[in-house]
Amino acid sequence: MHTFPSTQQSGFDFGRTPNAIWASAGAAEGDTELNAFDNALLAAQVGNLNLIRVSSVLPQEATLLVEPPRITPGSLVPTVYSVQVSAQPGDTVAAAVGIGVGQGSHGMIYESHGTSRREVEATVRKMIDEGFARRGLHLKEVVVRSIEHKVERIGCAVAAVVLWWR
Protein backbone atom coordinates (compact mmCIF):
# COMPACT_ATOMS: atom_id res chain seq x y z
CA MET A 1 0.00 0.00 0.00
CA HIS A 2 1.40 3.40 -0.96
CA THR A 3 1.27 6.37 1.37
CA PHE A 4 0.62 9.91 0.20
CA PRO A 5 -0.07 13.25 1.87
CA SER A 6 -3.73 14.02 2.41
CA THR A 7 -5.80 15.87 -0.18
CA GLN A 8 -8.77 18.21 -0.06
CA GLN A 9 -12.05 16.96 -1.45
CA SER A 10 -15.44 18.60 -1.54
CA GLY A 11 -17.73 15.79 -0.47
CA PHE A 12 -19.17 12.31 -0.50
CA ASP A 13 -19.44 10.90 -4.03
CA PHE A 14 -21.90 8.01 -4.21
CA GLY A 15 -20.93 7.37 -7.84
CA ARG A 16 -17.22 6.70 -7.23
CA THR A 17 -15.40 4.12 -5.17
CA PRO A 18 -13.24 5.71 -2.46
CA ASN A 19 -9.55 5.65 -3.38
CA ALA A 20 -7.99 6.83 -0.11
CA ILE A 21 -8.22 5.72 3.50
CA TRP A 22 -7.00 7.14 6.77
CA ALA A 23 -6.94 5.30 10.09
CA SER A 24 -6.97 6.81 13.56
CA ALA A 25 -7.82 6.17 17.19
CA GLY A 26 -8.67 8.43 20.13
CA ALA A 27 -9.91 8.27 23.69
CA ALA A 28 -11.42 10.80 26.07
CA GLU A 29 -13.57 11.47 29.09
CA GLY A 30 -16.92 13.24 29.18
CA ASP A 31 -19.72 14.22 31.54
CA THR A 32 -22.07 11.78 29.75
CA GLU A 33 -21.48 8.71 27.59
CA LEU A 34 -22.41 10.73 24.50
CA ASN A 35 -19.99 13.52 25.44
CA ALA A 36 -17.25 10.95 26.07
CA PHE A 37 -17.93 9.48 22.61
CA ASP A 38 -17.91 12.94 21.00
CA ASN A 39 -14.67 13.86 22.77
CA ALA A 40 -13.05 10.57 21.70
CA LEU A 41 -14.07 11.32 18.10
CA LEU A 42 -12.39 14.71 18.43
CA ALA A 43 -9.26 13.04 19.83
CA ALA A 44 -9.28 10.74 16.79
CA GLN A 45 -9.58 13.82 14.52
CA VAL A 46 -12.99 12.78 13.11
CA GLY A 47 -15.24 14.64 15.56
CA ASN A 48 -16.41 17.33 13.15
CA LEU A 49 -17.59 14.89 10.49
CA ASN A 50 -20.90 13.08 10.00
CA LEU A 51 -19.69 9.50 10.04
CA ILE A 52 -21.66 7.03 7.95
CA ARG A 53 -20.94 3.54 9.24
CA VAL A 54 -20.11 1.19 6.39
CA SER A 55 -19.22 -2.47 6.15
CA SER A 56 -15.66 -3.47 5.84
CA VAL A 57 -14.45 -3.82 2.25
CA LEU A 58 -11.24 -1.97 1.37
CA PRO A 59 -11.24 -0.88 -2.30
CA GLN A 60 -8.35 -2.45 -4.20
CA GLU A 61 -6.67 0.76 -5.28
CA ALA A 62 -7.14 2.67 -2.02
CA THR A 63 -4.10 4.56 -0.77
CA LEU A 64 -3.31 4.83 2.94
CA LEU A 65 -2.94 8.50 3.81
CA VAL A 66 -0.31 9.49 6.35
CA GLU A 67 -2.18 12.61 7.45
CA PRO A 68 -5.95 13.01 7.84
CA PRO A 69 -7.69 14.22 4.70
CA ARG A 70 -8.92 17.81 4.89
CA ILE A 71 -12.66 17.32 4.89
CA THR A 72 -15.20 20.10 5.32
CA PRO A 73 -16.84 19.91 8.77
CA GLY A 74 -20.31 18.42 8.53
CA SER A 75 -19.48 16.30 5.47
CA LEU A 76 -20.99 12.83 5.15
CA VAL A 77 -18.01 10.47 5.48
CA PRO A 78 -18.05 6.69 4.98
CA THR A 79 -16.26 5.19 7.98
CA VAL A 80 -15.58 1.83 9.61
CA TYR A 81 -15.34 2.40 13.34
CA SER A 82 -15.33 0.75 16.74
CA VAL A 83 -16.43 2.23 20.08
CA GLN A 84 -16.10 1.13 23.70
CA VAL A 85 -17.53 3.29 26.49
CA SER A 86 -17.76 2.84 30.25
CA ALA A 87 -19.14 4.87 33.14
CA GLN A 88 -17.28 2.74 35.69
CA PRO A 89 -14.18 4.51 37.07
CA GLY A 90 -11.16 2.23 36.90
CA ASP A 91 -12.42 0.26 33.89
CA THR A 92 -10.24 0.07 30.81
CA VAL A 93 -11.83 0.71 27.42
CA ALA A 94 -10.14 -0.19 24.16
CA ALA A 95 -10.92 -0.02 20.45
CA ALA A 96 -9.09 -1.14 17.31
CA VAL A 97 -9.44 -1.20 13.56
CA GLY A 98 -7.42 -3.54 11.39
CA ILE A 99 -6.86 -3.08 7.68
CA GLY A 100 -5.97 -6.14 5.63
CA VAL A 101 -4.48 -5.08 2.30
CA GLY A 102 -5.01 -7.63 -0.45
CA GLN A 103 -2.32 -8.80 -2.85
CA GLY A 104 -3.83 -7.99 -6.26
CA SER A 105 -7.36 -7.73 -4.85
CA HIS A 106 -9.57 -5.73 -2.56
CA GLY A 107 -8.90 -5.90 1.16
CA MET A 108 -10.90 -5.97 4.35
CA ILE A 109 -11.29 -3.70 7.38
CA TYR A 110 -12.33 -5.12 10.74
CA GLU A 111 -13.12 -3.47 14.05
CA SER A 112 -13.09 -4.63 17.66
CA HIS A 113 -13.77 -3.15 21.08
CA GLY A 114 -13.09 -4.49 24.55
CA THR A 115 -11.11 -3.97 27.72
CA SER A 116 -7.47 -4.05 26.57
CA ARG A 117 -5.45 -2.88 23.61
CA ARG A 118 -3.76 -6.27 23.32
CA GLU A 119 -7.15 -8.02 23.19
CA VAL A 120 -8.68 -5.80 20.49
CA GLU A 121 -5.53 -5.83 18.34
CA ALA A 122 -5.38 -9.63 18.49
CA THR A 123 -9.07 -9.82 17.61
CA VAL A 124 -8.81 -7.65 14.49
CA ARG A 125 -5.73 -9.58 13.32
CA LYS A 126 -7.65 -12.85 13.74
CA MET A 127 -10.65 -11.39 11.90
CA ILE A 128 -8.41 -10.31 9.01
CA ASP A 129 -6.88 -13.78 8.75
CA GLU A 130 -10.31 -15.45 8.75
CA GLY A 131 -11.86 -12.94 6.34
CA PHE A 132 -9.05 -13.38 3.83
CA ALA A 133 -9.08 -17.18 4.14
CA ARG A 134 -12.86 -17.33 3.68
CA ARG A 135 -12.64 -15.18 0.54
CA GLY A 136 -9.58 -16.97 -0.86
CA LEU A 137 -7.62 -13.70 -0.88
CA HIS A 138 -3.89 -13.27 -0.36
CA LEU A 139 -2.83 -10.90 2.41
CA LYS A 140 -0.15 -8.37 1.49
CA GLU A 141 -0.08 -6.12 4.57
CA VAL A 142 -1.84 -5.46 7.86
CA VAL A 143 -2.27 -2.00 9.40
CA VAL A 144 -3.73 -1.69 12.92
CA ARG A 145 -4.75 1.44 14.82
CA SER A 146 -5.81 1.03 18.42
CA ILE A 147 -6.13 2.80 21.73
CA GLU A 148 -6.66 1.94 25.39
CA HIS A 149 -7.97 4.29 28.08
CA LYS A 150 -8.39 3.97 31.85
CA VAL A 151 -11.75 5.48 32.82
CA GLU A 152 -11.74 8.29 35.38
CA ARG A 153 -15.47 9.23 35.25
CA ILE A 154 -17.02 8.29 31.91
CA GLY A 155 -14.55 7.24 29.24
CA CYS A 156 -14.63 6.22 25.62
CA ALA A 157 -12.19 4.70 23.12
CA VAL A 158 -12.75 5.00 19.35
CA ALA A 159 -10.84 3.60 16.39
CA ALA A 160 -11.82 4.55 12.84
CA VAL A 161 -10.97 4.12 9.18
CA VAL A 162 -12.21 6.94 6.96
CA LEU A 163 -12.80 6.07 3.30
CA TRP A 164 -12.35 9.10 1.06
CA TRP A 165 -11.29 10.40 -2.34
CA ARG A 166 -8.01 11.97 -3.45
Global confidence as pTM: 0.92
Nearest 5 degrees, angle CA 4-CA 62-CA 69?
A: 50
Q: What is the pLDDT of residues 64-114, one digit of tens each?
A: 999 999 999 999 999 999 999 999 999 999 999 999 999 999 999 999 999
Active-site residues: which are they? 50, 55-56, 111
Q: What is the pLDDT of residues 2-12, one digit of tens each?
A: 565 554 445 66
Domains parsed from the chain with CATH numbers: 18-164 (3.50.20.10)
Instruction: Give residue 3's pLDDT.
Output: 60
Average model confidence (pLDDT) for the chain? 94
